[in-house]
Structure 1
Amino acid sequence: MQKSLNNNVCNENRFNGLFNKYAKDLHHFLYYKFGDHLNPKDKVQDAFIKLWQNCSTVSPEKAKSYLYTVANNLMLNAVAHQKVVLKHQKIKPTEHSNESPEFLMEEKEYRKKLENAIANLTEAQRVAFLMNRVEGKRFKEIASLLDISTKAVEKRIYGALKKLREDIEEL
């Protein structure tokens, strides 16, 4: 019986260790890939719940891969659901501000340009760029999180910067 506990993540201490080790990076991965509007914190929690429910079938060595796969699939399902919801509903945002209408219009246009430019990056470039520029992670940290070489991270980030400069003249 002791041997079977060593081959899965059903041990509470081992599970807590996995949570402490991977939860923050998993959240950042989901946030950079999908944004904040789909609530990546909930998807991280749901992924760990699924890991606990299937703890007897997941080895500690496979736990990280399992968590990232489950969380990514949960986010993809949420994206698909949101597309259906948006099809059947029109969203009318209302903004109230003390800024001048010209400033608000320029800010909105710039934000839209920036969001479109970031959205036009490849997924690999977007994830690496946001991890580096928003979260402040070093190339080596990003490389270990994404399981790629440091040179690949450099290439992705520099490619993203080049594309962003082309798409947005003001940057």
Structure 2
Amino acid sequence: MPPKNQSDTCDEIIFSTFFKDQIKALRNFIFYKFGNLDHAEDVAQEAFVKLWQNCSSVPLEKAKSYIYTIANNSSLNKIAHEKVVLKYEKNFKSLDQTNESPEYILEEKQFQVKLLKAIENLNEKQRVAFLMHRIDGKKYSEIASDLNISVKAVEKRIHLALLSLRKEIDL
């Protein structure tokens, strides 16, 4: 049991539970924002290390905001002059390609390349909100909380992202 002057965040069991609940979402947030999985994993780990080092001054109810702020600032400092590139690969091994025509496979690959390029061309704010909603399956309110913006701002970012994607892909 922690001393009375120590925050609940310093309790190893509470911290461990918080870590397990938040690490994946934090890593994905940084990955979507900066496009580098290795960097995202490193930054997420560093954010939790800093939280542990400062656990006595960070109450548990502010810990989530703290790790997101630390991770975001750390990433901005590390990648100040680099262009953000987002790359995804889909695994087609599970796809039964024996029934697919070569033309269909080619069209599908071309569409995938076009879609990824269109996602890369979104501005950072739209891309982050869009991917948090579509890939992580987060609700608008969760995204708003994570990004420290209003739900209306999330709605607008995702709406503008969809309009941009439709325009670029010509659906």
Where does residue 132 of structure 1 map in the other structure?
Answer: 133
What amino acid maps onto 1:13 in structure 2? I
- Could you tell me how far 1:19 is from its partner in structure 2? 1.1
Aligned partners of 1:80, 1:49: CA distance in 2, in Å?
22
Aligned partners of 1:65, 1:144: CA distance in 2, in Å?
9
What amino acid maps onto 1:163 in structure 2? S
Normalization by structure 1: what TM-score? 0.69
Structure 2: state its 5+ residue gaps: 83-101
Where does residue 122 of structure 2 map in the other structure?
Answer: 121
Aligned partners of 2:111, 2:61: CA distance in 1, in Å?
45
Where does residue 144 of structure 1 map in the other structure?
Answer: 145
The equivalences for 1:71-90 within 5 A come to 71-80=71-80, 83=82
Contact 2:44 2:71 in 1 (8 A): yes
Where does residue 97 of structure 2 map in the other structure?
Answer: none
- Could you tell me how far 1:113 is from its partner in structure 2? 4.4
Give the aligned length: 153
Where does residue 163 of structure 1 map in the other structure?
Answer: 164
Contact 2:68 2:146 in 1 (8 A): no
What amino acid maps onto 1:158 in structure 2? H
Aligned partners of 1:157, 1:49: CA distance in 2, in Å?
32
Contact 1:38 1:78 in 2 (8 A): no
Contact 1:38 1:79 in 2 (8 A): no
Aligned partners of 1:110, 1:76: CA distance in 2, in Å?
32
Aligned partners of 1:57, 1:16: CA distance in 2, in Å?
17
Where does residue 20 of structure 1 map in the other structure?
Answer: 20
Identity of aligned residues (%): 53
Contact 1:139 1:150 in 2 (8 A): yes
Structure 1's consecutive aligned runs of 4 or more residues displaced over 6 angstroms after TM superposition are none
- Could you tell me how far 1:115 is from its partner in structure 2? 4.0
Aligned partners of 1:133, 1:166: CA distance in 2, in Å?
18
- Could you tell me how far 1:111 is from its partner in structure 2? 5.6
The equivalences for 1:103-122 within 5 A come to 107=109, 113-122=114-123
